[in-house]
Chain A
Amino acid sequence: MAEVVWGLATSHVPSIGAAMDRGKTEDPNWKALFDGYAPARAWLAEHRPDVAVVVYNDHANGIDLDVVPTFAIGTAEHYPVADEGFGRRPVPDVVGDADLSLHLLESLVDEGFDLTVFQELDVDHGLTVPLSVWTPDPGEAWPCPVVPLLVNVIQYPQPTAARCYALGQALGRAIRSYPEDQKVALLGTGGMSHQLAGARAGFINPEFDAMWMEAIETDPARLAALSREELIRQAGSEGIELIMWLIMRGAMDERITKVHSSYFVPASNTAAGIALFDNRAPQPA
């Protein structure tokens, strides 16, 4: 049977990918961010999964505003990297796992999560930057096939934090019921606090981010109880995308072990966070 082996929560700010693509990771404005990734990357290199589910949102690249799916899943064998308007990122296209996608879809629909299905999808920085955070030098291919799980976080009403957490819990059950002997990794992307438009643009809330970083490990139900208004107030109008971390967290065990976390301001206009969790309860020393 399949099992969840680890969860990686990370910001997906496009400029993080651009800094890597343009060789600026040693630049003084970026070095501390990438230094903060190093311990997670070293651990991940030793813990390669068979497949990864990446929870992310599109940003006007793969989907338009004429259809706004609240939750959606990709069921393709192949996901081209999107050209977001300035040429596509020089990273590999994404290989899918259609069998796992269809199993997750059926299982989640049976549990009452009526996902939209993408049989064709161009994936943008929301998905590829987290893969780069995990694997800075993928060469010809990413470490494993990927199942994209999309969440509407850009048009109100976004799904509630509670619904995201519940979806994650159902996702965990769906993974564990997959008959193949597969190690499954989870990526929850977005955040941390930021706001792009309005007079409050540039808003950063490190106290809230620190609370979130701690509670995502130890008390996710507390985060799931936050309202949309509270999330927008405390994390900024775009910081609400942190709800996608709760889908990752919900699919993991009640007790998990933090491998590494790091926090950095600013990645362009955003507070950037990374938190890596082993899906095993803390081991006795």
Chain B
Amino acid sequence: MSTDTPAGSRFDLPGTPVFDGQTSRRGLRMNKMFMSLRSEANRTRFLADEAGYCREFGLTPEQERAVLDRDWQAMIDLGGSIFYVYKLAVMDGRSMQYLGGVFTGMTEEEFVAAMRAGGRRDTGGRRDG
């Protein structure tokens, strides 16, 4: 693997996290917590005491910190699946384009503009094959 391969990516694909079995093991408690936020009653309980709710689900201190800080990149790095992390983002009124901006160092508006221009092509990833 090349030195610029980010931690958590099992292939030599820069900037491409792959949600694999080890990642899913690390993130299981946090992802189950995100899934629980589909219900209104659970969202209400979460918002009343976010840290307590995280502890109830058994998140690690690092995962709890990432959730409380809305550190979306850290949630992914700590085993979050984007489809599960998205439940928290939706609860906060955030879009997938907002998250796309966070992951790529852009504002939501810049990210949306890039998508409407045909999507991101030159992302530093290998384009061979």
Contact = CB atoms under 8 A, between A and B. Distances in A.
Interface residues of A, number: 43
Interface stretch (B48-56, B61-69, B119-127): B119-127
A176 interface: no
Given A195-B16, A196-B82, A196-B96, A203 B31 contact: no
A204 B119 contact: yes
Contact of B34 (A60, A83, A230, A271): A60
A181 interface: no
A156 B123 contact: no
Nearest to A86: B90
Nearest to B114: A202
Nearest to A122: B38
B6 interface: yes
A60 B81 contact: yes
Interface in A174-202: 193, 195-202
B58 interface: no
A65 interface: yes
A202 B97 CA distance: 9
Nearest to A87: B40
B28 A265 contact: no
B19 A154 contact: yes
Contacts, number: 150
Contacts of B125: 200, 203, 233
B38 to A, nearest CB: 4
Contacts of B57: none
A202 B20 contact: no
B15 A199 contact: yes
Contacts of A82: 38
B101 to A, nearest CB: 9
A232 B18 contact: yes
Contacts of A68: 24
A65 B97 contact: no
29 contacts: A60-B34, A60-B38, A60-B86, A61-B38, A64-B35, A65-B27, A65-B35, A66-B32, A85-B90, A157-B20, A157-B21, A193-B119, A197-B17, A197-B103, A198-B76, A199-B6, A199-B14, A199-B103, A199-B104, A203-B121, A204-B115, A204-B118, A204-B119, A229-B13, A232-B13, A233-B126, A238-B82, A266-B115, A266-B118
Interface of A: 29, 59-61, 64-66, 68, 82-86, 154-157, 193, 195-206, 229-230, 232-234, 236-238, 265-266, 268-269, 271
Q: When A and B form their complex, which 10 residue pairs have the shortest distance between CB atoms, in order from nearest? A: A204-B119, A199-B15, A200-B15, A202-B120, A156-B20, A266-B115, A85-B38, A201-B103, A197-B82, A200-B123
